[in-house]
Structure 1
Amino acid sequence: MSEKQKAYDPRDREQKLHDRSTWKETENLALIKASKKAWWRPDYWKGVAMLADLWDEEQRDQTPRDTP
C-alpha cells in the first residue's frame, strides 16, 4: 500500500477541484498523481475517475478476505 496523501477525487461531489481544503486523504495513486498535475479540464478528470475506479477495484481484489 502507498502512503495516504490529500488528493482531489472527481467522483466525490463534496470535493472542489480549485479548493484544496475540500480534498481528502487517499491511497489511490491515480488520484494522487493526477492531483499533482496542472490539468484542470473536465475531460481530463473523467479519465482520472475511470483510472481511480480501476485502482480501487484492484486494491479490493488484493485485500485478504476473512474466511469462516
Structure 2
Amino acid sequence: MTEIEGALPLVLAQGAAENTHTLLDFADPEFDRIVASVRLITAVEGDDQITVGTLKIPEVGVFPLVCEGP
C-alpha cells in the first residue's frame, strides 16, 4: 500500500448490491465514523449501460457520479 501524506486511510464499513442498486459506506480504520458514502444505480438497454449516483463526504459535500460502459 502506498501512503500519501495527509491522506485518510479508508476501510469498507458496509456494502450491498441488489438488482440495479449498489450502496457502499467507507469508514476510518477504527470504524468510528463514515467518511464517504457511494450510492449507485445502473440502467441497461440492449448494449447500452450507464451507472449514475452520488458520492457524499460528510462536512465536505455531495458530488455526482456518472460511469459509462460495461
Same fold (TM over 0.5): no
Greater per-residue helix proportion: 1
Greater per-residue strand proportion: 2
Q: Computing the radius of gyration over CA atoms, which structure comes out larger, 1 or 2?
A: 2
- Please, what TM-score do these two structures have when normalized by structure 1? 0.21
